[in-house]
Structure 1
Amino acid sequence: MRQAGLVAGAAVLALLAAGAISYAVAGDEGTDRTPSADSADAGFARDMAVHHQQAVEMSYLVRDRTDDEEVRRLAYDIAQTQANQRGMMLGWLDLWELPKVSADPPMTWMGMGDAASGEDGALMPGMATDAEMERLGTLEGKQAEVFYLQLMTDHHKGGVHMAQGCVHACEVRVEKRLARGMVEAQESEIGLMTEMLRERGAAPRP
């Protein structure tokens, strides 16, 4: 999983170097300037890379614990999409020559800081706790499917909230564009997962 992110990041850097990807996206507001280490752009790239990594791990966990093709297909799609996006964000941090970790609490760039970490031990809103990840790794079949869909629905809701924050606060064109795409795709998948839970006699967690 880590290797997939590194490969994706290297691919982005290669395309940027070759001029195949440009910051000057027609019709997108924003800037082409390199952001600072404490900018919303850098903060979003760092935090969403961490957020995405857990989604990738969660998705591979459930693929090993169910034979249901619908859930396995969704998990594979989420894992591939978020691993690729994670690679892009880490690639941008490399391109900007900015650190991939920060001493500030997660989501400080959104004005949340210490409030981002939940009382249950989750690192950021929507993220599963260590105990929940361990539990997912013990379940099989329908129980694993339901718990995964519930966890991933929460995960996507947290991801949408963070991506919306970037849409409003980030300045780099290509990153704002990626954040908008995340909002649209994850909101669509939340609807899909809600229906998949209903088919299994369950519902998203309150």
Structure 2
Amino acid sequence: MQRRVQRHRLILGGVAGLALLGGALALAWPRPPAEGSADVTFARDMSAHHAQAVEMSVTMVKRAADPAVKLLAQDILLTQQAQIGQMQGWLMAWGRPLAGTEAPLAGMDRTGMGLATPQQVQELAYLPVGVAERQYLQVMRRHHQGGVAMARLALRDLNRPEVRAFAGRVVTAQTSEIGAIDALLARRGVRPPTPTTAPKDEATATPMDGMTHE
């Protein structure tokens, strides 16, 4: 009888210990971000932004004659497709739908984010290859600048450490790729626009004034 009482005490003590441990973990583990939070919005918006880069890069992986352009397109395709999967994985882990009630990037200045027009995306499939390569580089340069600006803007409000780290990597990686794109454009005799001379739709790296939610 005494052994049974001791065993019951041990079991009850173990259950109580597990309950305390679970409570402590619940307090320490951050809650999933709420619908409409900066983290959820960023994951959806950046996924949509990446999706256009992937679409254009798929075309150029198939069409580019310049090995350097083909390699750049392949790198953007693989990297940004993987990042879309990562961001969608976060949304599923947080219990949030992949799409919100609003369309991605709703209320934002698409030109300011460096997004290509539907016509520019379609033209990559049928323009002469050399012309398509140059257009891809110019459009992707603006696209990367918009992605960098989006990530920098989001860093002001993001709370989740993994999302903040991701946004920081976007800034670093895409800024580096802009340099590579500039070198490829220089080989074609194309000078990238500068902040002082570029028209507004060139979406330079610094001014992204229109890139805010309405």
Do both proteins adopt the same fold according to a TM-score greater than 0.5, normalized to the shorter chain?
Answer: yes
Matches of 1:183 and 1:74, distance apart in 2:
17
1:59 is aligned to 2:47? no
Matches of 2:108 and 2:171, distance apart in 1:
22
Tell me how far 1:165 sits from its aligned partner: 1.9
**Identity of counterpart residues, as a percentage?**
40
Q: Secondary structure at the match of 2:107?
A: helix
TM-score (norm 1): 0.75
Residue type at the aligned position of 1:169: D
Matches of 2:192 and 2:136, distance apart in 1:
10
Tell me how many residue pairs correspond in the alignment: 166
Q: 2:37 aligns with which of 27, 36, 39?
A: 39
1:203 is aligned to 2:191? yes
Is the deviation greater in 162-171 or in 148-157? Answer: 162-171
Q: 1:116 aligns with which of 86, 109, 120?
A: 109
* Alignment of structure 1 residues 1-206 onto 2, 5 Å: 32-104=30-102, 106-107=104-105, 114-118=107-111, 125-204=113-192, 206=198
Tell me how far 1:102 sits from its aligned partner: 2.1
Is residue 127–residue 158 contact of structure 1 (8 Å, CA) maintained in 2? yes
**Structure 1 residue runs of 4 or more that deviate by more than 6 Å after TM superposition:** none
Tell me how far 1:117 sits from its aligned partner: 3.8
Matches of 2:30 and 2:153, distance apart in 1:
19
Residue type at the aligned position of 1:32: P
Tell me how far 1:162 sits from its aligned partner: 0.8
Matches of 2:63 and 2:128, distance apart in 1:
5
Q: Which structure 1 segments of 5+ residues have no match?
A: 1-30, 108-112, 119-123
Tell me how far 1:105 sits from its aligned partner: 5.8
Is residue 48–residue 104 contact of structure 2 (8 Å, CA) maintained in 1? no
Matches of 1:106 and 1:60, distance apart in 2:
21
Calculate the aligned-residue CA RMSD, in Å.
Answer: 1.7
Tell me how far 1:115 sits from its aligned partner: 4.1
Tell me how far 1:80 sits from its aligned partner: 0.5
TM-score (norm 2): 0.73
Matches of 1:103 and 1:116, distance apart in 2:
19
The structure that has the greater radius of gyration is: 2
